[in-house]
Structure formats: C-alpha cells, structure tokens
C-alpha cells in the first residue's frame, strides 16, 4: 500500500499555563496521502489548529509541549529535525494558509515582496524570474492586473483579494502539502464560494495534498475526500465524506450533522448540542464526550477512553466510541436521520454557536 505523505501517530500536546496544564491533544492519529484532501472538523478549541501547527513545528514552546507521539512527513521524523531542516520543509514543501489574510501579510511590504519571498528563500531564482513567477501565480489565483498588484500594499486590496494573495504565497513553491486553517472564515459567503472553487482548481492542477480545517460541515464537504471529526483533543471519527453523510457513527458526529439548520427549522431555536466541552486542564478519564452524549451507555463511558478503531464492515471508517467496541454488546439506535450533503455555501452551526 502507498505510504502516507503525512502520518501523525498518537500525538499528545500539552500547554503549560498559569491556570494549569491544558491537555490539548490526547493521542491524535492522522494520515494524509498524496493528492488527497483531508478535512478536519470540530468546534473552536477542539485541537484542529494545534494539530496543523504541530505538523510543521510551529507551536510556540513554551507554553506548548509535545509530550509524546510522532509526526512523519515524507518519511522524515518532524520532531527530530533540526531547526534548519524544518525551515527547509516549511514554506517550501509544506505551506499554510491562515484564517485572516491581514494577519498573514506584512502591512509595510508590497505584495510583490511578500509573494516572491518564499521563492527567494528556498531557491536560487533571480529577482526578475521570481517576479514573473509571482505574477503568474497571482493570475492563477484569479487576480487580474497582477503586475500592478505586485507594487501595492495589503491595505489597498479587498479581503477576498488579500486571501488570494495569501494562497498565491502558499502555492508559489509548489508545495506537496497545504495546511489550510479556516481559510474562508473571515470572508463573506460569495467570496468564500469563490475561494473554495479556487482551492479545488489549484489542488487538481498542482496535485498537492491539503489538510483543510473548518468548523463548518457545509464548507468542508465542498473540498474534502476524507474527514476527521475532532472533539476535545481527540479524533472521534475518521471516514470518507460520503460515509459521514450516509452513515455517521459517533454520537458527536450525528449531533453535529443534525445541528445544521434547515429552512424548516424554527428560526427562534436553532439546533444545538446541549452541554459544554470539558475543561481540558482536568479532562475526564473516560470518553471526553460522555457528559453530553445522547447515547451514553453507562459506567464504561466514564471509565474507559475509547480508542479510534475500525468500525464493523469498513476498515477505512474509524470511530472512537464504546457503542462499536467489544466492551458492550449493543448496536447503535437507528433514531437518527440519514443526511444529504449540504449544497455549496450551506451553513452549519457548531455547539459553540459559531455559524456562517
Ligand atoms: Fe457516548 Fe459512550 Fe460513545 Fe462516548 S463512548 S460517545 S459517552 S456512547
């Protein structure tokens, strides 16, 4: 079988704060293959961004500490690389697009200076050749009049144009893996749809892999081949997009799916997942979703942390829940509705109340 481009194995990350140690990642396992788009969905604070930042050693330490686990990129152990070796990978082989383009761009440098910088840093290309490549990449990212934009500053562009510039910066070195951390969240719905279309086109054109992070199931369904559902520092379900919509297994995934508002919902009361996320300074020893789980099955949920394992009938559909382990002999109730994939721009609401 093909080796994954990125393999995260049993990753535990803690943050040491004045209020205590936050156990932010609790044994995350992920694999991304070449030319694949993996979506990570979950509410704010569930560990999506921490997972992405860990991948290229961008977590600030302290307060962050990778306590255990491994991250392998193209066969290299990321956690054992020197700073110089890491710098050769990030911004070159692995690049990142953040949520807010204004925080990714330096307001006092021209667009041209910023888009050409990754090329100038990672190759011997001349200034004129770098400029020409930057213009071509800006055009590929849908920016007409790229030659003029090269000499402008970020504040002279609209939010959508700035995000296209940030995408051009991330792609100019032709990376093998793009980490996209909520790249459309700060944009209005029309621009969001354009940026999603652009990312899909560029992914196909360049054949890169993408780790796409979002709290919006509608957005993520537009681009992902597979999806990992995160809750409170754990991956609780990992499957194809089709499997997620046809047969979500984990109670959290089901609740998340049902919380997508529809036109028939009472507008005064949007569906939410009752309860709150556990305090990760003192997380439960068993299932982290137990206090909110509508399918809670008793003491085993509080006592034993369920491992992510293949669900019956599909080795590729993994779930972390005792409903699917040998610990209990109980099949999940069939009281949930099968779902259709939301259309472009569909909104979803997480339990934290975020919506788009
Ligand atoms: Fe619910 Fe128990 Fe499954 Fe956790 S392990 S999701 S509490 S049924």
Q: How far is the CA of 216 from the centre of ligand 1 (A)?
A: 23
Q: 289 CB less than 6 Å from ligand 1? A: yes
Q: What is the mean pLDDT of residues 96-116?
A: 88
Q: How far is the CA of 240 from the centre of ligand 1 (A)?
A: 21
Contact, 314 vs 248, CB < 8 A? no
If you average pLDDT over every residue of the chain, what do you get? 84
Contact, 322 vs 328, CB < 8 A? yes
Q: 286 CB less than 6 Å from ligand 1? A: no
Q: 295 CB less than 6 Å from ligand 1? A: yes
Query: What pLDDT is attached to residue 178?
Result: 93
Pocket residue to mutate for ligand 1, from 275, 287, 305, most atoms within 8 A of Cβ: 287
This prediction has a pTM of 0.83
As assigned by CATH, the class of the 6-224 domain is alpha beta
Q: How far is the CA of 301 from the centre of ligand 1 (A)?
A: 5
The residues facing 235 across adjacent strands are 230
| Three-state DSSP state, 311 | strand
pLDDT band for position 250 (cuts 50, 70, 90): very high
Q: What is the mean pLDDT of residues 193-203?
A: 83
Joined together, the tokens standing for residue 136 give 């071509």
Q: How far is the CA of 278 from the centre of ligand 1 (A)?
A: 14
Question: Could you tell me which residue, 273 or 269, shows the higher pLDDT?
Answer: 273
Q: 231 CB less than 6 Å from ligand 1? A: no
pLDDT band for position 347 (cuts 50, 70, 90): very low
Listed by start position, the domains of the chain span 6-224, 229-324
Query: What pLDDT is attached to residue 107?
Result: 92
Please write the tens of the pLDDT for every residue from 59-86: 888 899 999 999 999 989 999 999 889 9
Atom number of ligand 1 nearest to Cα 251: 6
Q: Lowest-confidence range among 27-31, 91-95, 326-330?
A: 326-330
Pocket residue to mutate for ligand 1, from 251, 253, 278, 319, most atoms within 8 A of Cβ: 251
Q: How far is the CA of 306 from the centre of ligand 1 (A)?
A: 8
Closest CA to 208 of 97, 315, 111: 97
State residue 68 phi and psi, 5-degree precision.
-165, 170
Query: What pLDDT is attached to residue 160?
Result: 84
Q: 322 CB less than 6 Å from ligand 1? A: yes
User: Between the CA of residue 12 and those of 23, 70, 160, 163, what are the distances in Å?
Assistant: 8, 9, 36, 32
Please write the tens of the pLDDT for every residue from 141-189: 888 899 999 999 999 998 888 988 998 898 899 899 999 998 887 667 7
Question: Could you tell me which residue, 202 or 11, shows the higher pLDDT?
Answer: 11
Q: What is the mean pLDDT of residues 48-60?
A: 89
Q: How far is the CA of 332 from the centre of ligand 1 (A)?
A: 11
């Amino acid at each position: 079988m093909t080796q994954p481009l990125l393999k995260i194995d049993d990753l535990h990350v803690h943050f040491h704060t004045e209020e205590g140690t936050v156990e932010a990642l609790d044994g995350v396992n992920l694999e991304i293959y070449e030319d694949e788009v993996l979506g990570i969905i979950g509410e704010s604070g569930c560990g999506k961004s921490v997972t992405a930042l860990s991948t290229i050693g961008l977590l600030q330490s302290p307060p962050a500490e990778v306590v255990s686990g491994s991250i392998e990129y193209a066969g290299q152990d990321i956690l054992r690389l020197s700073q110089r070796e890491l710098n050769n990978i990030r911004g070159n082989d692995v690049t990142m697009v953040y949520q807010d383009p204004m925080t990714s761009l330096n307001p006092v440098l021209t667009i041209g200076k910023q888009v050409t910088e990754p090329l100038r840093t990672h190759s011997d290309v001349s200034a004129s050749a770098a400029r020409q490549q930057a213009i071509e990449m800006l055009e590929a990212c849908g920016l007409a009049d790229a030659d003029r934009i090269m000499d402008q500053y970020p504040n002279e562009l609209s939010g959508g144009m700035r995000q296209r510039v940030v995408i051009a910066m991330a792609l100019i070195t032709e990376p093998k893996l793009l980490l996209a951390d909520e790249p459309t969240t700060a944009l209005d719905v029309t621009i969001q749809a354009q940026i999603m279309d652009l990312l899909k086109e560029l992914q196909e054109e360049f054949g890169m892999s993408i780790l796409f992070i979002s709290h919006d199931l509608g957005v993520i369904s537009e681009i992902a081949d597979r999806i990992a559902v995160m809750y409170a520092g754990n991956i609780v379900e990992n499957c194809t997009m089709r499997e997620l919509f046809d047969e979500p297994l984990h109670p959290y995934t089901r609740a998340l799916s049902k919380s997508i508002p529809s036109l028939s919902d009472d507008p005064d009361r949007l569906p939410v997942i009752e309860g709150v996320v556990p305090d990760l300074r003192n997380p439960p020893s068993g299932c982290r979703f137990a206090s909110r789980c509508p399918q809670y099955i008793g003491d085993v949920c509080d006592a034993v942390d369920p491992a992510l394992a293949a669900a019956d009938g599909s080795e590729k559909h993994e779930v972390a829940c005792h409903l699917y382990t040998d610990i209990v002999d109980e099949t999940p109730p069939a009281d949930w509705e099968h779902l259709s994939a939301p259309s472009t721009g569909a909104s979803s609401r997480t339990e934290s109340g975020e919506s788009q």
